[in-house]
Structure 1
Amino acid sequence: MTDSSLTIQNILVPELALCRVALSSKKRALEYIAEQVHQSAPELNETQIFNNLVARERLGSTGIGQGIAIPHCRLEDCDKVVGVLVTLEEGVAFDAIDNQPVDLLFALIVPKEATSEHLELLSQLAEKFNDHRFCNELRQCTDNTSLYNQMTETS
């Protein structure tokens, strides 16, 4: 049984759906995600988010192939799951399993003690991103609003 309170629709806020961002590297993408999360939730420490995302990447790339990455980390003093959806103007090298550049990222920042929720969300994301048509629709969005609506539309 899944926890219905934690769905992509519930963790992604419109201001964290960011369309066609120009970033030059994996490091810059992770910095950008940390900045955006901090702007949306000022109580969360931007440096700590970035460091935790980088530490997680060191364990193994979160680039899952097909130009998609799901960077994620746990965070002290975080009381809710935060999702960030970013499409990039151009793909960046991400050490993905298929060595393809990444242009579609969905980052998850989860409370330190969240485990099952975290895994449930990762599986929801993997399922959505497994659908090539869906990914192409995300990539074709030209503004943040359409990107948000596309991601949160339940099909």
Structure 2
Amino acid sequence: MDISSLLEPGAVRIINHLTSKKRLFQEIGEVVASVHGLNASIAVDGIQERESLGPTGVGHGIALPHARLQELDKIIGVFLRLEKPLEYDSVDRLPVDLVFALFAPKDSGVDHLKALALVSRTMRDAGVVAKLRANSDPAKLHAILTEARTSKAA
């Protein structure tokens, strides 16, 4: 499994301004709907339900919201770079500007955890994070994310 199998180029976006975590989740839902055809409200409800168990802000300005959904048959991702960091209730209390959302089938079992671990490792790489923050072109962001793990695995 690699990030290129999880993240379509169209699912990478730059967001200029969001006013709340709820609005962020709605934006993620809209991207999932437009790229993968999944109902946006189902996606939003899924990540809000997971978020109610505990915040998915992992620190250093990074959030990894995720959900398991009955409507999916494969694991999919959405990456958003926020121009203006957003309060997120992260573990380190810092606002978030990099968001990688994952959606997995309800019965994906260990594959969901493997995908989450892969994304988490990638987003902990200081070099990758610096490049993501330095670029404003969605195509470049997609390339950075999909090449990050591939080059390390070689």
TM-score by structure 2 length?
A: 0.93
Q: Partner of 1:12 in structure 2?
A: 7
Superposed CA RMSD in Å reads 1.0
Q: Partner of 2:20 in structure 1?
A: 25
Q: Label 1:21 to 1:111 Cα distance change in 2 as closer, same or farther (>3 A).
A: farther
> Is 1:82 the equivalent of 2:45?
no
The structure 1 residue matched to 2:111, chosen from 117, 129, 141, is: 117
Tell me, which stretches of 5 or more residues in structure 1 are unaligned? Answer: 1-5
> Is 1:132 the equivalent of 2:121?
no
> Is 1:48 the equivalent of 2:42?
yes
The residue type equivalent to 2:19 in the other structure is S
Give the distance between the partners of 1:70 and 1:21, measured in 2 at CA. Answer: 19
Q: Which structure 2 residues correspond to residues 30-109 of structure 1 after superposition, within 5 A?
A: 30-42=25-37, 44-109=38-103
Give the distance between the partners of 1:26 and 1:115, measured in 2 at CA. Answer: 27
Give the distance between the partners of 1:25 and 1:7, measured in 2 at CA. Answer: 31
3-state SS, counterpart of residue 64 of structure 1: strand
Whose RCO is larger (CA < 8 A, sep 6+)? 1
Shift of 1:38: 0.6
Q: How many residues align?
A: 149
TM-score by structure 1 length?
A: 0.92
Map Cα deviations across residues 37-91 of structure 1 (whole Å, 9 max, x no partner). 011122x221111011101001000000000000000111211111001100111
Is the helix fraction higher in 1 or 2? 2
Give the distance between the partners of 1:106 and 1:60, measured in 2 at CA. Answer: 16
Identity within the alignment, %: 38
The residue type equivalent to 1:34 in the other structure is G
Deviating beyond 2 angstroms after TM superposition, the runs of 4 or more aligned structure 1 residues are 19-22
Give the distance between the partners of 2:82 and 2:134, measured in 1 at CA. Answer: 11
Shift of 1:20: 4.3
Counterpart contact for 2:2–2:146, Cα < 8 Å: no
